[in-house]
Amino acid sequence: MRQSQFEQRYRPQWDRLETSLTALEARRRPKAAALTDFTADYQSLCHQLALARERGYSLALQEYLNDLMLRAHRQLYRYRTPLLPGLVAFFTGGFPRAVRHQWRWHLISTLCFVLSAGLVWAMILHDPELVHTVVGPQQVAELEEMYHPDLRDVAGRDRQDDVMMFGYYIYNNIGIAFRTFAGGLLLGVGALVAMLFNGSFFGAAAGHLTLAGAAQPFFTFVIAHGAPELTAIFLAGGAGLRMGWAVLAPGSWRRVDALRRAAAECLPVMYGVFALLVLAAFIEAFWSSRELAPQIKYGVGAACWALLALYLLFAGRQRQGQGGRHGSE
Amino acid sequence: MRIDDQLHIDTPEGARLTLSLAGPLPRALAYGTDLAIRGLLLAVVAIPLMLFGRGGMGLYMVLLFLMEWFYPVLFEALWQGRTPGKRMMGLAVVHGNGAPLGFNGSLVRNLLRTADLFPMFYLTGFLVMLVTRRAQRLGDLAADTLVIHTPPARPARPHQDGDSEAPDWPLSREDQLVLLAFTDRGARLSTERQQELAALAYPELSPAAAREKLQRVARHVLGGA
């Protein structure tokens, strides 16, 4: 068949396919009735493209058919999963399972943070001047202003400040968590440095404020939101280390494939990190800043830690014999 | 990176799909456009929010966060793999097998952006793009995504009418492709260049006659008249 005959015969089909594609690419989903011919048209298009190449029709025609097929391919293989059931399944099981699946990495990242925090804390208790090696003078002043009983301005804080701090926590903390995760891709170094640095900073703040006599305001403030916030940072660090390890030691996989698998495993963890940090920002802005008796704040804080630990350790476990530590997902 | 930036994919239907990969420059331009759009939006929103004092400041920071991390994710996931900047440059993100990008894939490639940014100006991402076979940055590698050119819809080629003439030699498939390419691109060449090319086929004729004859043969191959 000559090219012009070929074009003449199939042009109406291509035009019809273009119409359905325009409908599919629009924001609103088209009615199913309008798309009855779509798959059949796509299939014959595949055939016609192969024919056009085999018979050596002009490059312009081949390109046109190829572009049309690319567009159709992208529509045909699109899938939209319903959002709500997915979210429910994620929070009742998917997230804690994903965390437990990589528990070693999360343990390492937690240890990095806790050990560096403990070390710096102990060093500052031993020699208070050491705080200036970790924290700049301006930040020391800010810390004291925030937590020291004589310096801070409790009465001046209102709703407006709560909202402002909420925004700040969202912007700052979630950004840090995401960057820690991405930093892990650089052979794990970025995540490791972030965990050590954040741990040292926390240890320095705690040590310095303890010495300055501001331990109670500091700990009553951080204990409740610390549960989701610190946990989220640990998890982000752990996921980052997992990514870095996939690049460093891919095992029997190609590096690229190991990286892809690691990313797929880490993705649910990062969704969870995001949710935890939004929760932490709420608690931090609207609960932690309330002035209440220390017993209440410590009680609520302890409950937060316990609930979160129970959730991550036990939620979504399968019955015996079905799941387990090595169960792949 | 190869010089040829075409990527061939065999689809489940047994057809071969050709994608053309986007290199660093168009992607950087698209990124710059997006950056400008984001900055402009933030500036526009900041003005009314300033009236709300510190509360407005908080909302502004939430917005800043969303713009920084979720602007590309939402656009790519909901808008055929294109941010406004990519759309302007005729680019789109697809999965490595040509399948459309979903929310998960887009999130992975955009979360890992920080690694590509390291240490500044996307140096890591740029170097990784140069050495990978399919011009991918680190985020693309982890998410198995590609940035491709999405060509604008081409208008149908106008038919040239005129008499035709069978070729006086046995026509191979390569010859046929060359002939068709000659007609396709002829409009963009000067008449002199067309004559020069046609003279290669018919050195015994005068350039003008050779061009006429070659056009007639091409019309025959196309099946016109």
Sign of the CA dihedral running B157, B161, B166, B169: negative
Question: pLDDT-derived band of residue A305, with 50, 70 and 90 as boundaries?
Answer: very high
Q: Kindly report the pTM of this predicted structure.
A: 0.82
Tens of pLDDT along chain B (225 residues) come to 445 678 888 888 777 888 889 989 999 999 999 999 999 999 999 888 888 888 888 889 999 999 999 999 999 988 888 999 999 999 999 998 888 888 889 999 999 998 998 888 899 999 999 998 888 999 999 999 999 998 776 655 555 667 778 888 788 888 888 888 888 788 788 888 988 888 888 888 888 888 888 888 888 877 754
B-chain CB neighbours of A170 within 8 Å are 61-62, 65
Is B161 among the domain residues? no
Q: How far is A43 from chain B (nearest CA, A)?
A: 7
Contact between chains at B69 and A160 (C-beta distance less than 8 A): no
Is B167 among the domain residues? no
| Chain B touched by A3 (CB under 8 Å) | yes
Sign of the CA dihedral running B59, B61, B67, B69: negative
Tell me: do B121 and B40 sit in the same domain: yes
Work out the angle at residue A205's Cα, subtended by the Cα atoms of residues A202 and A211, and round it to the nearest 5 degrees. Answer: 140
A-chain CB neighbours of B13 within 8 Å are 42-43, 46
Point out the residue among B13, B143, B177 whose CB comes nearest to the CB of A59. Answer: B177
Q: What is the pLDDT of residue B40?
A: 95
The answer to whether A119 and A205 have CB atoms below 8 angstroms apart is no
pLDDT tens, A143-180? 888 887 776 666 666 778 888 888 888 999 999 999 99
Backbone φ, ψ for residue B72 (5° rounding): -65, -35
Tell me: do B43 and B139 sit in the same domain: yes
Tell me: do B47 and B135 sit in the same domain: yes
Query: Which of B13, B49, B52, B79 to probe by mutation at the A interface, max A CB count within 10 Å?
Result: B13
pLDDT tens, A63-96? 888 888 888 888 888 877 778 888 898 898 889 9
Overall domain count for chain B: 2
Between CA B108 and CA B114 the distance in angstroms is: 11
Point out the residue among A165, A182, A262 whose CB comes nearest to the CB of B115. Answer: A182
Between CA A44 and CA A39 the distance in angstroms is: 9
E strand or H helix that includes residue A311: helix A294-314
Is B162 among the domain residues? no
Q: What is the ipTM of this complex?
A: 0.82
Contact between chains at A73 and B157 (C-beta distance less than 8 A): no
Contact between chains at B65 and A159 (C-beta distance less than 8 A): no
Distances in Å between the Cα of A206 and the Cα atoms of A220, A280, A292, B50 are 12, 19, 21, 35
Q: What is the pLDDT of residue A198?
A: 93
B-chain CB neighbours of A56 within 8 Å are 173-174, 176-177, 180
Is B156 among the domain residues? no
Contact between chains at A263 and B108 (C-beta distance less than 8 A): yes
| Chain B touched by A64 (CB under 8 Å) | yes
Please provide the DSSP assignment of chain B as one string.
Answer: --S--EEEEE-TTS-EEEEEB--HHHHHHHHHHHHHHHHHHHHHHHHHHHTTHHHHHHHHHHHHHHHHHTHHHHHHHHTTT--HHHHHTTEEEEETTSPBP-HHHHHHHHHTHHHHHTTTTTHHHHHHHHHSTT---HHHHHHTEEEEE-PPPPPPPPPPPS-----SSPPPHHHHHHHHHHHHHHTTS-HHHHHHHHHHH-TTS-HHHHHHHHHHHHHHHHT--
Residue-wise burial string across A251-285, b where 16 or more C-beta atoms lie within 10 A, e elsewhere: eeeeebebbbbbbbbbbbbbbbbbbbbbbbbbbbb
Between CA A226 and CA A214 the distance in angstroms is: 17
Is B154 among the domain residues? no
Tell me: do B11 and B121 sit in the same domain: yes
Domain ranges of chain A: 3-76, 85-314
| Chain B touched by A59 (CB under 8 Å) | yes
Task: For residue B116, give the chain A residue with the closest CA.
Answer: A182
Q: What is the DSSP letter of A129?
A: G
Is B168 among the domain residues? no
Please provide the DSSP assignment of A209-236 as one string.
Answer: HHHTT-HHHHHHHHHHHHHHHHHHHHHH
Q: What is the DSSP letter of A26?
A: S
- Name the A residues in 265-284 with CB < 8 Å from any B CB: 267, 270
Tell me: do B56 and B143 sit in the same domain: yes
Q: What is the pLDDT of residue B147?
A: 94
Q: What residue numbers bound the domain in which B195 lies?
A: 173-222
Contact between chains at B98 and A74 (C-beta distance less than 8 A): yes
Examine the pLDDT at A30 and tell me if it is beyond 60: yes
The answer to whether B30 and B92 have CB atoms below 8 angstroms apart is no
Q: How far is A191 from chain B (nearest CA, A)?
A: 11
Query: Which of A29, A65, A74, A261 to probe by mutation at the B interface, max B CB count within 10 Å?
Result: A74
Q: What is the pLDDT of residue A152?
A: 64
Tell me: do B135 and B190 sit in the same domain: no
Return the minimum-mean-pLDDT range out of A128-142, A256-270, B58-72, B85-99: A128-142
| Chain B touched by A115 (CB under 8 Å) | no
| Chain A touched by B143 (CB under 8 Å) | yes
Tell me: do B85 and B137 sit in the same domain: yes
Point out the residue among B55, B81, B222 whose CB comes nearest to the CB of A160. Answer: B55
Contact between chains at A260 and B141 (C-beta distance less than 8 A): yes
pLDDT tens, A183-194? 999 988 999 999
Examine the pLDDT at A34 and tell me if it is beyond 80: no
| Chain B touched by A119 (CB under 8 Å) | no
First to last CA, chain B: 45
- Name the A residues in 161-200 with CB < 8 Å from any B CB: 161-168, 170-171, 174-175, 178-179, 181-183, 185-186, 190
Tell me: do B102 and B200 sit in the same domain: no
A-chain CB neighbours of B143 within 8 Å are 260, 263
Q: What is the pLDDT of residue A320?
A: 57
Query: Residue A150's CB: how many other CB atoms inside 10 A?
Result: 8
